[in-house]
Amino acid sequence: MQSVRFFWKSFLSFVAVISVSSIVFGIFLYRHFYATTLSNLEFNLKKETEALAGIAMNSDVLKHPETMAKMVHTDDRITILLTDGTVIADNWAQRLGIEAIENHANRPEFQAALKSTPIFARRVSRTVKTEMLYYAVPLRQDGKIVSVLRLSFPLTNFYSQMDDIRTFLFYGGFFALLLSLPFAYLLSRSTTSSIEQLRSGAGRLAAGDLNERVHISGSIEFQELARDFNRMAEELQHKIASLQQEYSQRETLFSRMVEGVLALDKNGKAIYANEAFCAMVGSRINKVQGRSFLEISRSDALSDYISELIQSDSGSVPDAKEIRFFLPEGESIYSVQTTRIMEGEGTSAALLFVFHDITSIKRLDQIRKDFVANVSHELRTPLTAIRGSIEILLDGALLNPDEAKKFLEIMDKQLRNIQNVVSDMLKLASVEDGRTINRREMVEVSTLVDDVITVVQPLAAKKKQELKIQVPDSLILLSIDPMQISDALMNVLDNAVKYTDENGKITFRVSLQDDEVIFQISDNGPGISREQLPRIFERFYRVDKSRSREMGGTGLGLSIAKHAIENHGGTIAVQSDLGHGSTFTIRLPQYASIRSIAG
């Protein structure tokens, strides 16, 4: 539709140009003919007048002016006037029988002749009632103007010729316009076709078809324009390909980053967010971009921090900011590095944030602090008791054998506690890096269970506890380091015996399921609260601290068990309700290779 409208605009423009050109040329030509013809008439009139004036000066015409018309055979009007304007002879008046002719003193050609500056004059004659062209010259005798000779002729033929010329030019221009219409049509069609090709190509290029090229066989100018268009398209295709490659590389880089990346414009709206950030705030990318940071932030501290940066606009930013996120799955801590992207005149155009998850680092740091504090606490109590006993002995208790023996027994017990703590710490350090996995054997599960029961059975019997063992009769083999797994099972079972009251019940079940050997140790002891469950595998963590110390526990047993089991590719989990006992479930792959090998 647009091409049709453009065609008619182009066609009508060509027609208008041709029409206006024809009219202007016709007017110019008409005026040229008009001026040339009139000039020729004036020239001839002047020559005739001057010739008649010469004849009149050399004859007796001035004495008998009425004979002038008879002497000259011409259709022109000849008039002889006295210097006062009185007409003394006029051949047309004689011919037409006009006897009374008004005075011509006010005629411009007459007045000019008296001044010896002849002029041409055009007007409708009052005498003959016809538009005439006049020219008059003075007639002298003895150097004195005695009369005026005026020659004139009617302009009827002149105007008739001009009408013919005007008619000819009109029809000539009209036919020329008709003849030019096909050429205007073809030229408009050619121009419209070339422009339509360029427009269509530009439209497809704008729509994303970067392979679009235009081929025009029209005028040289359009061919050059098409070549320029194609060069532009090739350059655009190359640049967009480069940008797409850079964008793809950036997207790949950002998407594989474990750090969250967020970019905000100067109004605080998200212009970019990678997958890590979206996962961090629990949203999808398409729901983050274009939204305000207040809508996507899961942290009041982050919202306040961003608000301060936006309000300060061109202010400096801190090297790093620690932000805490409180999510349903727990608290996360991030170190936020901020970069302000500047635009002209030192104002901020965008803010770029990189979020480093330091939750594990903070947790490990806290574990380290807790570990140091726990070790110090575990050693301080027995060392204090030993020092106190030594001071009492030095104060004279050595002289009393019974007193000395009592304090020596206290010192021995506390030294054993220290020894147990150090031993468990070394054992824990070993299982954490796999240094104790020196051999791997195919061990029969029933034998492994018997060895563990043999160690724990005396304590259970002492507390009159029912220890129920359920092991399949079929042969079950495990590829393990028997020392590590034996210690792990013993630590779990020993805890069950220690924390279960007298006359309690403990069940040790073994089963085989999908190439996994499952150990379940259940008791009807005091159980563990839900708040304490996530921490029971931490080092030095005790559910009941005072009771644990009385029983000689170090708080490292479950942590050692967990690392030993995980070294074998297994898992350990616990289910417990306060007041309803606990169940520890250990799963070990039957033939899995040991994950950590010494050296």
**Same CATH topology for 1-162 and 254-359?**
yes
> Which CATH number does 254-359 carry?
3.30.450.20
Q: How many Cα atoms occupy the beta-carbon half-sphere of 181 within 13 Å?
A: 7
Q: How far apart are CA 492 and CA 555, in angstroms?
A: 12
Q: Which residues contact 444 (CB under 8 A, 6 or more apart)?
A: 475, 476, 477, 478
Instruction: Count H helices and E strands in the chain, helices first.
Output: 16, 17
Domain locations in the chain as residue ranges: 1-162, 213-247, 254-359, 364-428, 439-589
> Which CATH number does 364-428 carry?
1.10.287.130
Select the CATH number that applies to the domain covering 439-589 from these four: 3.40.50.970, 3.40.190.10, 3.40.50.2300, 3.30.565.10: 3.30.565.10
CB-CB neighbours of 183 under 10 Å: 11
Helix or strand or coil: residue 134?
strand
- Give how far Cα 398 sits from Cα of 135, 382, 391, 431, Å: 171, 20, 10, 43
Long-range contacts (CB closer than 8 Å, 24 or more residues apart) made by 501-504: 501/463, 501/525, 501/526, 502/463, 502/464, 502/465, 503/463, 503/464, 503/465, 503/466, 504/463, 504/465, 504/466
* Rg of the chain (C-alpha set): 62
- Give how far Cα 436 sits from Cα of 431, 444, 483, 580, Å: 6, 20, 8, 36
Q: Which of 272, 285, 279, 275 is nearest to 298 (CA)?
A: 279
Strand duo 87-90 + 120-124: pairing: unpaired
Q: How far apart are CA 457 and CA 16, in angstroms?
A: 118
Per-residue b/e over 306-330, b at no fewer than 16 CB within 10 Å? Answer: beebbeeeeeebeeebebebeeeee
Q: How far apart are CA 560 and CA 534, in angstroms?
A: 16
Instruction: Answer yes or no: are the C-beta atoms of 210 and 237 closer than 8 Å.
Output: yes
Select the CATH number that applies to the domain covering 1-162 from these four: 3.40.50.2300, 3.30.450.20, 3.40.50.300, 3.90.550.10: 3.30.450.20
Beta partners for 65?
A: none
pLDDT in tens, the chain (599 residues): 555 566 666 667 767 777 788 888 888 988 999 899 889 988 998 998 888 888 777 665 555 555 565 555 567 888 888 989 988 888 887 777 777 788 888 999 999 999 989 999 999 888 778 888 999 999 988 888 888 999 998 988 888 888 998 898 888 888 877 877 776 666 666 666 666 666 777 777 777 777 777 776 666 777 777 787 788 878 887 888 888 888 777 777 776 777 888 888 878 888 888 877 777 777 776 667 778 777 777 678 888 888 888 787 666 777 778 888 776 667 788 888 888 877 756 566 688 888 888 888 887 777 777 777 767 766 777 788 788 888 887 887 777 888 888 878 888 877 877 777 777 667 666 666 655 555 778 889 899 899 889 888 888 889 898 899 999 888 888 888 888 888 889 889 988 898 888 999 999 999 998 888 999 999 998 888 888 888 888 777 776 655 555 555 667 778 888 888 888 889 999 998 888 889 999 999 987 544 433 33
